[in-house]
């Protein structure tokens, strides 16, 4: 009887071309060495396979007997199952996500890099000396005054070597950006209050920042100008017009070719499931400067947390007219023995109902939180 490992390369090639997702191809290659060798016949094909994202990358476990090199992913498209994936590059690193990539920082000399969680491709970024929230002690690098909160890209894939590619991050109260190959980060200034979220509008080719009390700013991030870049105030969220006296937290993301979506969030700390958590959505028209409350997302779903805020069409296990959220504050849980950040769930915009994704301690973070990972196209396959 012929063994599975003895299948002809031509047959393996035809089988592998039936896969629609990168993860399925990886599983195919892991069957045995002869199947793995078939990758040489299909490498060009798999370079553009999409991932099964969006997915939730779970917080690191604090259990000593866990596989130290593995991260866990909650996959909506696979029936809501949890899969382990070897990713030692992210172990004990502080992580946030953007466009399906991880931006990680380590305590050793404030290093920073981009890592694709599936292909494990790495791209070195400048060290983080520019950020005022990091400071040096006589004996050690002090890493926690504030935290890296947000990262966005100006294009979806850093491996395309696009000269217009930028990485923009919020660290505490500082906003900075870099190009690949830069030796240092450049600073962005000109806003007041505390930066809450950032987004890059691919049609307008501009960076947008929402700060304290809903102040909205913009700048042309792609211009080759000297640092620092200065933001210009674009609008102020009219809270009173919509019956809001304050704006505790907000997110911003692209909403069509001429609009931004502002999502506000009420939060209550130290609760296992934040049943009183509430979100509201508002559209800002970039052409006429008008605000409009949005009560229905249609077939869209929004993902908010320690990730670049993004929306997708529902399907593949993702529900329409919903906001998928994770905890995205370090400070209230810093120093707690059991960690924090268990408010991970699905907010139904239609009736304000919150649905738990799962009930597991895996959603608790002590070092790096649970992260949403956006769908991305892979252009590099490394050490499969």
For residue range 260-289, list pLDDT tens digits in order. Answer: 999 999 866 545 444 456 899 999 999 999
Domains of the chain by residue range: 1-49, 50-373
Asked if pLDDT for residue 381 goes beyond 90, the answer is no
> Which of the two residues, 37 and 148, has the higher pLDDT score?
148
Helix (H, G, I), strand (E, B) or coil at 22: helix
Asked if pLDDT for residue 325 goes beyond 80, the answer is yes
Asked if pLDDT for residue 203 goes beyond 80, the answer is yes
CA 285/CA 29 separation, integer angstroms: 48
pLDDT, tens digit (0-9, with 9 covering 90-100), for 32-52: 777 767 665 555 555 556 666
* pLDDT of 7: 75
> Which of the two residues, 149 and 3, has the higher pLDDT score?
149
> Which of the two residues, 215 and 129, has the higher pLDDT score?
215
Sign of CA dihedral 195, 96, 176, 146: positive
Indicate the average pLDDT of the chain: 79
Q: Which of the four pLDDT bands, split at 50, 70 and 90, describes residue 15? A: confident
* Burial group, residue 177, by CB count within 10 angstroms (0-12, 13-18, 19+): buried
Of residues 304, 286, 283, 151, the one with CA closest to residue 232? 286
DSSP sequence for 27-70: HHHTS-HHHHHTHHHHHHHHTTPBPS-SEEEPPPP--TTS-TTE
For 50-373, the fitting CATH number among 1.10.1740.10, 1.10.260.40, 2.120.10.30, 3.30.1490.20 is: 2.120.10.30
**pTM for the full predicted model:** 0.83
Q: Specify whether the CB–CB gap between 368 and 93 falls below 8 A.
A: yes
């Amino acid at each position: 009887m012929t063994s599975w490992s003895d299948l002809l390369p031509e047959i393996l090639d035809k089988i592998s071309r039936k896969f629609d997702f990168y993860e399925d191809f990886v599983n195919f290659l892991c069957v045995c060495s002869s199947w793995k060798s078939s990758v040489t016949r299909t490498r060009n094909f798999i370079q553009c396979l999409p991932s099964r994202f969006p997915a939730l990358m779970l917080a690191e476990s604090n259990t000593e007997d866990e596989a130290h090199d593995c991260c866990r992913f909650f996959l909506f498209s696979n029936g809501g199952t949890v899969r382990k994936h070897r990713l030692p590059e992210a172990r004990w690193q502080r992580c946030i996500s953007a466009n399906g990539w991880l931006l990680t920082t380590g305590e050793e000399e404030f290093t920073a890099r981009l890592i694709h969680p599936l292909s494990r491709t790495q791209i070195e970024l400048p060290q983080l000396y520019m950020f005022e929230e990091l400071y040096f002690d006589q004996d050690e690098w002090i890493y926690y005054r504030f935290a890296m909160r947000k990262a966005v890209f100006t294009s979806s894939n850093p491996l395309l070597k696009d000269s217009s590619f930028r990485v923009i991050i919020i660290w505490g109260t500082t906003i900075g950006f870099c190009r690949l190959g830069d030796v240092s980060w450049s600073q962005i200034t000109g806003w007041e209050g505390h930066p809450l979220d950032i987004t890059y509008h691919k049609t307008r080719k501009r960076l947008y920042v929402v700060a304290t009390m809903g102040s909205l700013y913009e700048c042309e991030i792609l211009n080759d100008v000297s640092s620092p870049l200065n933001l210009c105030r674009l609008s102020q969220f009219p809270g009173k017009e919509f019956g809001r006296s304050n704006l505790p937290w907000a997110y911003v993301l692209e909403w069509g070719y001429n609009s931004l979506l502002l999502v506000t969030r009420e939060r209550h700390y130290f609760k296992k499931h934040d049943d009183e958590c509430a979100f509201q959505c508002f559209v800002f028209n970039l052409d006429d400067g008008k605000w409009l409350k949005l009560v229905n997302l249609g077939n869209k779903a929004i993902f908010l947390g320690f990730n670049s805020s993004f929306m997708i069409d529902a399907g593949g296990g993702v529900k329409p007219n919903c906001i998928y959220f994770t905890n995205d504050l370090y400070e209230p849980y810093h120093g707690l023995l059991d960690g924090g950040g268990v408010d991970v769930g699905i907010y139904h915009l239609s009736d304000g109902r919150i649905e738990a994704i799962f009930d597991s301690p895996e959603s608790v973070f002590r070092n790096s939180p649970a992260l949403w990972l956006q769908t991305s196209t892979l252009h590099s396959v490394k050490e499969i």
